[in-house]
């Protein structure tokens, strides 16, 4: 069965998750047997925040989310069951119950398909009626704003919600509306907070507005709540979407007042250094902030509440403390003990096995892998077997020198540097040579073709000719390699001499 527009009427859901309607209440007594509510009172929800309580006189088997036809004045209305059970009686004590002739209104029946269709047609007329009623109010020059319109379920009555700062005489407006829409008119005045709750929105805290989600009773909010909490009186930050002071300013005022009951008075302090004027209070850290210059907040000093009380008692006796803050005691020197963890008995890893890094070491010299036929591979494997056998001389290795000859070589005295040698004269800077202008460019040589197929003297196969640049690089590398060998061998030769 259709539940109408879920944005305005709220959607039905299971018992645990609740619903998307405004001012939804979680029924925490839903699994308890109904003993405190034997008369079967039920809570019915209508458009937006309007709820009311009815008596189930016909003992209908109702569940949360059922559409029912209830008693109205005049006719009947269509609503959705929002709560059943023992919690309904508790809610009736908090909210005002609408009575007809001193009695609670009744639930007639569950809504039929015909009732639902008529109810949906009435909902579609609400927005159009609101726009037209605003035009009629402006034509009559009434200082009011019509914020919302709600039709009754049978379509015979409509409630017009309006906002106005002063008292408005709308008797002429009611006559015009009745002639235009041919229905019974009821006018209800709401405040700015109630309008914000009906419209909805997101607050600066990132959550849904309190007046839209759970708050139904609005208490007055003053700037004294902001002063107790040491909040700057900035109207742009203290005002909500309804252009009034935020309701959340009253949430923690009682806690701040209880905490500040034991605080000393916010008076001026006198010391030998001078006078200190009160600046502000930090309730969480129990600290007063004072400044030495009352004209501008400079040199602000934070003083604990206990110290402020001590200074005030001294000032009453006519005494002045030397400084505003108590002198800070020097930190005590740490006692150095003679105990030392020499053996390592305090180590947590003393029973762990030592990690051997030698297994992961790789030799710097890599052995060449045998390449070629299977005979060469076999010879290489035989050499490895011979190397693994201990105390056997290798036939391919040269015999070592005698130990005596090695000792004689090591016992030679090191050669001292010559001191009678004259210093080497410095060279003159080399002048850059200018390129010769009269020299002709060198002609490129043509590769010789007569050497390609010429065999060697020993009957070898003819070698392929190398490119000219490759021959030059090869010769240059050989020269550099020979120079490095000569340079590396010079210090050893001098030591041997």
The CA distance from 50 to 216, in Å, is: 10
Residue 212: count of CB within 10 angstroms of its CB: 20
Q: Is the pLDDT reported for residue 314 higher than 80?
A: yes
Q: What does pLDDT average to over the chain?
A: 77
The CA distance from 42 to 36, in Å, is: 13
* pLDDT given at position 471: 52
> What is the percent of the chain where pLDDT is above 70?
65
Instruction: Provide the token pair at 4.
Output: 């109408």
The CA distance from 24 to 80, in Å, is: 12
pLDDT in tens, 168-199: 898 999 999 999 999 999 999 988 888 888 88
The CA distance from 116 to 268, in Å, is: 72
DSSP 8-state class, residue 448 = P
- Mean of the pLDDT values across residues 432-449? 69
The CA distance from 20 to 4, in Å, is: 13
Q: Is the pLDDT reported for residue 54 higher than 90?
A: yes
* pLDDT given at position 480: 67
The domain locations on the chain are: 6-115, 125-198, 220-262, 263-316
CA 198 to chain centre: 32
Q: How confident is the model at residue 300 (pLDDT cuts 50, 70, 90)?
A: confident
Q: Is the pLDDT reported for residue 417 higher than 70?
A: no
Decide which of 47 and 266 is more confident.
266
The CA distance from 389 to 376, in Å, is: 21
Which ranges of 215-265 does DSSP label H, i.e. alpha helix?
Answer: 224-228, 235-238, 253-259
The CA distance from 158 to 35, in Å, is: 38
Pick the most confident of 127-141, 229-243, 355-369, 474-488.
127-141
- Mean of the pLDDT values across residues 455-461? 49
Strand 184-189 relative to strand 157-163, pairing:
parallel
Q: Which of 170-174, 384-388, 403-407 has the lowest mean pLDDT?
A: 384-388
What CATH number does the domain located at 125-198 have? 3.30.300.20
> What is the percent of the chain where pLDDT is above 90?
24
Q: What angle do CA 137, 138, 143 make, to 5 degrees?
A: 80
* pLDDT given at position 337: 64
Residue 149: count of CB within 10 angstroms of its CB: 22
* pLDDT given at position 160: 94
* pLDDT given at position 5: 47
Q: What are residue 203's phi and psi, to 5 degrees?
A: -85, 175
pTM of the model: 0.53
Which ranges of 170-233 does DSSP label H, i.e. alpha helix?
Answer: 171-181, 192-199, 210-213, 224-228
Q: Is the pLDDT reported for residue 381 higher than 50?
A: yes
* pLDDT given at position 353: 73
pLDDT in tens, 87-125: 888 888 888 888 877 788 999 999 999 999 999 999 999
Q: How confident is the model at residue 40 (pLDDT cuts 50, 70, 90)?
A: confident
| CB burial of residue 79 (10 Å; 0-12, 13-18, 19+) | buried
Per-residue CA distances from 285 to 152, 250, 305 (Å): 56, 21, 9
């Amino acid at each position: 069965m259709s539940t109408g527009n879920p944005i305005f009427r709220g959607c039905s859901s299971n018992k645990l998750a609740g619903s998307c309607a405004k001012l939804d209440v979680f029924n925490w007594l839903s699994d308890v047997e109904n003993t405190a509510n034997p008369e079967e009172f039920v809570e019915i929800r209508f458009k937006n925040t309007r709820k009311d309580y009815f008596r189930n006189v016909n003992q209908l088997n109702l569940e949360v989310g059922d559409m029912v036809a209830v008693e109205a004045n005049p006719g009947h209305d269509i609503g959705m069951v929002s709560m059943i059970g023992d919690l309904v009686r508790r809610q009736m004590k908090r909210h005002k119950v609408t009575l007809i002739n001193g009695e609670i209104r009744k639930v007639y029946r569950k809504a039929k398909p015909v009732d639902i269709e008529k109810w949906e047609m009435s909902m579609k007329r609400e927005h159009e009626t609101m726009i037209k009623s605003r035009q009629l109010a402006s034509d009559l020059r009434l200082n009011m704003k019509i914020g919302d319109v709600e039709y009754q379920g049978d379509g015979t009555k409509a409630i017009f919600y309006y906002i106005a700062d002063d008292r408005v005489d709308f008797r002429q407006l009611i006559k015009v509306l009745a002639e235009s829409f041919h229905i019974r008119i009821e006018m209800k005045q709401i405040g700015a907070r109630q309008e914000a709750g009906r419209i909805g929105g997101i607050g600066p805290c990132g959550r849904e507005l309190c007046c839209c989600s759970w708050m139904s009773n609005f208490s007055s909010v003053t700037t004294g709540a902001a002063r107790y909490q040491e909040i700057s009186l900035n109207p742009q930050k203290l005002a909500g979407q309804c252009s009034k002071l935020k309701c959340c300013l009253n949430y923690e005022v009682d806690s701040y007042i209880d905490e500040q009951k034991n605080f000393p008075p916010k008076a001026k302090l006198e010391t030998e250094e001078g006078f200190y004027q009160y600046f502000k209070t930090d309730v969480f850290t129990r600290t007063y902030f004072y400044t030495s210059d009352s004209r501008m907040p400079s040199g602000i000093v934070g003083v604990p509440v206990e110290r402020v009380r001590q200074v005030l008692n001294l000032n009453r006796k006519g005494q002045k403390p030397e400084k505003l803050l108590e002198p800070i005691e020097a930190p005590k020197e740490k006692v150095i003990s003679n105990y030392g963890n020499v053996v390592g008995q305090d180590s947590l890893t003393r029973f762990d096995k030592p990690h051997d890094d030698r297994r992961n070491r790789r030799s710097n010299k890599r052995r060449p892998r045998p390449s070629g036929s299977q005979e060469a591979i076999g010879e290489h494997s035989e050499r490895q077997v011979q190397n693994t056998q201990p105390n056997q001389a290798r036939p391919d290795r040269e015999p070592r020198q005698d130990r005596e000859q090695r000792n004689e070589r090591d016992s030679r005295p090191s050669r001292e540097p010559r001191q009678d040698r004259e210093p080497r004269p410095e060279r003159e800077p080399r002048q850059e040579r200018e390129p010769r202008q009269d020299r002709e460019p060198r002609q490129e040589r043509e590769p010789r073709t007569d050497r390609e197929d010429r065999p060697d003297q020993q009957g070898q196969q003819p070698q392929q000719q190398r490119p000219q640049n490759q021959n030059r690089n090869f010769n240059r590398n050989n020269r550099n390699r020979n120079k490095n060998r000569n340079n590396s061998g010079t210090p050893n030769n001098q030591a041997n001499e």
